[in-house]
Amino acid sequence: MLPRKTLPLFLVLLAMSAVAQQDYSKVEIKATQVSGNVYMLEGAGGNIGVCVGPDGILIVDDQFAPLADKITAALAQLNPGKLKYVVNTHHHGDHTGGNAAFATRDATIIAHSNVRVNIAKDPKAPAAALPVITFTNGASLFYNGEEITATFYGPAHTNGDSVIRFTKANVIHMGDQMMTDRFPYIDFSNGGDLDGLIANWKTIIASAPADVKLIPGHGRLATLDDLKAALAVVEESAAGIRKGMAEGKTLEQLKAEGLPEKFKSWGSGFINPHRWIETIYNQSHKDVPKV
């Protein structure tokens, strides 16, 4: 087994390897109208939120750099206006890879301050990829008749996750704080915190309208009921693992026992059952980094 401290790095390297092998020429960008003037683009990498209208275009996240032209073409099918703003939900490359390409085309990159810090840690990241407008707790942008808010509730998937709300359209882009019907990924090496994610989910569930539409970081378009289901699964599965830990079971014993069958489908994504058990174990053996 890999040592606990090396696991996040291993997952990052695994993801980078998958990216290197991706044939982007075969990727198709699919657009879905979510509500009003808000759309979701699917391709390779994180789901993109799009707001179109008389002011131009704003997107939330931008997938991988080689897809910039395809994304631009897909946006042109939705609105002939200029792409003016890119809002990053967090710093991972499958959500920010297109930053530099769009910045050089005069788009303004906006994100939590830790997104800029985290991208800057990568010596290969071009300066143009860095957000030029950052915030600590939140920000609002009035664009295309929408009040678009970006809110930082605290460390969750990483230490710089933002939840993006399109107020009029009643749509929330969750970034990688949500992967529909799958266990979440907590990036401990970049300040992620599972308990923080759970707290963020509860805040959103308590404050969002019942009929809100959720754009997840990965997976199908979701609802508040989907987020409630994810919360129930995460809390119940985590409680079972922590009960075993309290009984003195080792990580290897917990992994050998596995998860109850009802959670099987939730482990069919990037975070399989063994990695989910490791996530719970690691959460209980760490100090949450301060923001």
pTM: 0.91
| Residue 26 in domain | yes
| Residue 154 in domain | yes
Which regions in the chain score pLDDT beneath 70? 1-21, 286-291
- Structural domain of 69: 22-223
Domain count, the chain: 1
Q: pLDDT tens, 59-116?
A: 999 999 999 999 999 999 999 999 999 999 999 999 999 999 999 999 999 999 999 9
Which residues on adjacent β-strands are paired with residue 149?
Answer: 140, 165
pLDDT at residue 270, as a whole number: 92
| Residue 217 in domain | yes
| Residue 205 in domain | yes
| Residue 280 in domain | no
pLDDT at residue 129, as a whole number: 98
Domain containing residue 81: CATH number: 3.60.15.10
